[in-house]
Amino acid sequence: MNREELADFLRHRRAALTPAHRTPRRTRGLRREEVAERAYISIDYYTRLEQRRGPRPSPEVASALSRALDLTVDERDHLFHLIGHNPPQQTAVLDRVDPGLRRVLHALDGNPAMVMSNLAHTLLQNPLALELFGDQTHYTGLERSGYFRWFMVPQERGIYPPDIYAAQSATYAAAVRAAADLEPDPAEAEQMIATLLAESAEFRGLWDNHEVRLCRQETTSLLHPVAGRVDLDCEVVFSHDRRQRILVFTARDGTDLRDLITPGRPAGAAG
């Protein structure tokens, strides 16, 4: 159980909640007693958790805290990892096709796609992804991670317009925290996080927000030497163990990306 991280996480998530009765308060968020009441635990017990001296919560208490703090699935799983429990298994409705997966199914034939680890190691790119992003598979060491390069290698941002930097940085910092929970061997994640905290003031500021979110459906923009600015939607599909994912990119305006980024290709030509 990581008492220090757990205490910080609980405080930040509590501060992010809006009280049901909007009476003036000196501090933002819910009070400790309000969270304790929501979770059906004593205020003393909850207070000790935030003060880094409480006993290890049971899985049942962890679930109650997740509900009390209105945590997302990613945040709930992170809470369980901080406490030292395996997160609850997610159930799925098997007879309903997810709309995002349906779009991926139809997009794979003619759209940039790449397979990545949760730490953003690019494992495989199709030709259109190579054309759009360049070869992302040749890096070594901590620079294998696109998250690490974003904060530590200035030229990594060269293909992105500056107006998306802030949003992309926030997304990546939240994704690093969520991805670290999924790694079978946490050593690389721990080394990467320690390095980023030591050397990137931007990452430190975002890390202190305790945001937790795997990238699932995102938007981004690129600066391409042929097409100029290209605004993209990205669908993300995870493997069964959530340790690898495929990213499939489509133009936000519905344009066929092959027409934009492939020199000499007649517009609308078949792939």
Given this model, what pLDDT does residue 39 score?
Answer: 86
The domain 3-83 having CATH identifier 1.10.260.40: the answer here is yes
The dihedral sign for the CA sequence 120, 137, 150, 101: negative
Q: How many CB atoms lie within 10 A of CB 96?
A: 7
The domain 99-261 having CATH identifier 1.10.10: the answer here is no
Task: Name, in order, each residue with C-beta under 8 angstroms of 243's C-beta and a sequence gap of 6 or more.
Answer: 117, 118, 182, 183, 184
Ranges of residues in the chain with a pLDDT under 50 are 21, 91-95, 97, 101, 266-271
Tell me how far CA of residue 228 lies from CA of 73, 132, 222, 263, in angstroms.
37, 11, 8, 13
Domain ranges of the chain: 3-83, 99-261
Name the token pair of 58. Answer: 């049971």
Given this model, what pLDDT does residue 40 score?
Answer: 85
Q: Can 3-83 and 99-261 be said to share one CATH topology?
A: no
Given this model, what pLDDT does residue 173 score?
Answer: 95
Given this model, what pLDDT does residue 103 score?
Answer: 63
Given this model, what pLDDT does residue 172 score?
Answer: 94
| 17/61 Cα distance (integer angstroms) | 19
Given this model, what pLDDT does residue 170 score?
Answer: 95
State pTM to two decimals: 0.69
Instruction: Supply φ then ψ for residue 43, to 5 degrees.
Output: -65, -35
| 126/136 Cα distance (integer angstroms) | 11
Given this model, what pLDDT does residue 263 score?
Answer: 57
Given this model, what pLDDT does residue 215 score?
Answer: 79
Per DSSP, which regions of the chain are E strands? 113-117, 122-125, 217-224, 228-238, 244-251
Which residue type is seen at 1?
M
| 224/248 Cα distance (integer angstroms) | 17
Given this model, what pLDDT does residue 114 score?
Answer: 87
